[in-house]
Structures are given as C-alpha cells and as structure tokens.
Structure 1
C-alpha cells in the first residue's frame, strides 16, 4: 500500500513556547509555556541567552548567561538583566534539560529591541502506509538532532501524561538520526487501527533503545485514526 497523505486539520499539536513579555534598556522579561505534565525545576529546564546577530542557536559559543527554571509548573516567567537592548541583538532559548543540546524553543531580540521572532518545536503527521507512520519535526536552526540524541515515540491514547510515564511503554520509538533542524522520520512495523487514539511525542535528547529519557519532551501531536 502506498503512503497516503493525511488531513492534519483533525490533529492536536502541543509545543514548548517562549515569548518576550517586555524589554527595557538593560532587561528582557520572557514567558514560557511548556508541555502539560512537565516539572521544569525537577527536570533541570534551563533558559539561555546569547549576544548573537542571528536566530540560529550558537551551540558552540558560551552563553552570556543562563537561568535555571525555579518552578515545577509548566508555565512561568523570568528576566535577564545587564543587557544592552536597543544596541545589540540577543537570542533567548528554552532547554528542556540542563544543557544547550536540549534547546527546543527560541526568541530572537533584534538590535532594535522590537519585532521579535520566535521558533517553537513541532511534530506533525505526514503520511501513513499499511505498516508505517511518517512524521515531520521542526526545531530551531542550529540544533543537531542526531548528535543530541533526540528521539520520538508513538503511543496509544491522547493523554500527554503517558509521555512522561516510564511505566507506559510506546508502541514504537526511534532515534532521530538526521542532523537537520527539520526533517522527516518513519515508524515502521506498526499497524494503526481505525477509531483508535494515538499520540507522537518528540524528545530533545535522552535516546536509549531500551529505556529512553522522558524528561526532554518538547512537543506532541495526537489524533484519532481515520483509516
């Protein structure tokens, strides 16, 4: 059976978001909204900032500063200070872990101090075969999924809570081996049953063939199988 394109309007997508709430002469206040069930403090979530001219994550450059997330609820805010807003450009990045390799969402502040731009992670279904499910992922430029140990899993059900629960094993999971910040991957040897709910979770880092790390959940897509 050939791969079929899908009606993605029936899908529910969730992501990790980062937005700029306010900028002053030397400060930048940001808001974050992460995945339901995330415990940012417990899981070591960290926000980084670089002084850099582009929105690509400068993963090999030392960050100007970083803020460990201090709350164990999915949403929150914090501030970076001692900046030169209006003179220099900055990139703020949210990591679902305690290393730059787990960055999944970014907010770019141009030197003008306005017209911010954002990139959030995303995963979406692309096509289905008789025993396969293809999906596309998106990350900020500069991220290297293969090197970072990214992975994705496929579960029955639409409750994002299962994505953090190590006792609920996925039907399939795979290592993302591409080094592109956006690309496609395919779950194979899997049959999706009509009328059944499914969810795909994309994780920044932590791949293991037997027991992958669930703490780096960046985004998800869920749906009810139609055919």
Structure 2
C-alpha cells in the first residue's frame, strides 16, 4: 500500500445531520387544499423570493408551464403553510411544488413536489436531498436526488462545500463548487479539497446558482478510520 492509499483510508465520515424540504398536502372538502412545508434552517423565504405553485397535472410538475395558481411565501422563517382554493379535486389530479427562489417562468428553483390524486389524496413527496457518498484525504463524493423530471444541469443547479457546521446563505464561506449532471439522481465529486480529521464540513445543494437557492444540506464530521 502506498502512502497516498494509506492516507485516503485513514479517514471516514462521523456524525451527519441532513436537512431537506418536507412538503405535505391536506384536502379540506373538494375545493380547498392546504400545502405545508418544513424547510432548511437559516433560510429567509421572504427575501429569496420563495413561492408555492399548483398545477392541474398528474404525478409530476409539467416543467416550464404556467401553474393554475401560485402564492409568494412571506415568512421570514423556513416553515409554513398556504391554502389553495377553487380546485376540483373530486374530478382532477394536481401537483404542488415549493420553490426556493423566484423563477416563475421555468420553475427551475423547485425544491420539493407533492402530487395530489383525484379525490384529494396526497401521493409520495418528491424531495431534493444531498448526502455524503465517500470522503477521502483530498476528495469528496456527494449523492443527490431531485423531483421527477428535473434536469439539474439545464436548471443550473450546483453543489457547494463549506468548512462549517451549518450553511447560512450569504454568510457561510464556500470553499468549493461543483456543477450537477443532467441526471435527476446522481453523484458528483469535489477534488483538491483537503478533508481534515476532526473538522466539520457542510455540503449544500443549490436549486440554482445563488446561496439563497439552498434546497438541502448535509453536515458531517471527518473522523479517523
């Protein structure tokens, strides 16, 4: 075994803490739908232009098309809820999405999606997530997932690394950035980044290019193998 090989195998991931947008829906009668969400800490939705949108569609967001309705999120904290009225849930399926940014043309900043079947029954949420796949002495691989139909590369999504125990948009210093691929679920790698034993790092998935577009984070401690 070479010295380089020994160094790579001498470290691994310790404690991890992950955050992602959790979205849920509840029908109230046949025409009103409550959309609720729990967000990523340290975000201020009112400043980043967050909004919730709903389409009359089945299973997934029809990307690039105008929704039936949308509402701005005015909260200064990441969690909240909004009602959508005037729907026809007894006869039609819908899909709702939470956007961590103001792109109301292509909806490229969407972080989480929930389909609502005919009758108002919510389906399985489609959430953007990020996690650590591998840590080496000078490299890091991270895995991500996104909602159905997302093309992260075309949508301009990025993944950033910070030497920090949290990610605060506009405050936390980013030490490295990698571009996503055109696969909705994939693994991307950071190279030339020193992973120091005993130090804490945070990876943030940005559903866009700005720190305010953070859709998911994972914080981890580097420990001896």
Task: Name the TM-score, length of structure 2 as normaliser.
Answer: 0.89
> Does 2:55 match 1:50?
yes
Q: How does 1:67-106 map to 2 (within 5 A)?
A: 67-99=71-103, 100-106=107-113
Paired residues of 2:27 and 2:120 also in contact (CA < 8 A): no
Displacement over 4 Å in runs of 4+: 6-9
Question: Which residue of 2 is the match for residue 209 of structure 1?
Answer: none
| Structure 1 unaligned blocks of 5 or more | 207-212
Q: C-alpha deviations, 1:29-87, integer Å up to 9, x for none? A: 01111111111111100111111122x22103221111111221111111111101121
Query: Residue 114 of structure 1 aligns with which residue?
Result: 121
The whole-number CA distance in structure 1 between the counterparts of 2:81 and 2:141 is 35
Residue in structure 2 matching 1:173, options 173, 177, 194: 177
Tell whether the 8 Å contact from 1:23 to 1:85 is kept in structure 2 after alignment.
no
Structure 2 unaligned runs (5+)? Answer: none
- CA offsets 1:67-111 (integer angstroms, 9 cap, x no match): 111221111111111101121110000000112110110111111
Aligned to 1:30: 35
Cα RMSD of the aligned pairs, angstroms, is 1.9
1:11: which partner in 2? 16
Distance in 2 (CA, whole Å) between partners of 1:7 and 1:93 is 36
TM-score by length of 1: 0.88
Q: Distance in 1 between matches of 2:77 and 2:100?
A: 13
Structure having the higher Rg: 2
Aligned counterparts of 1:159 and 1:28: Cα–Cα separation in 2 = 33
2:221 paired with 1:218: no
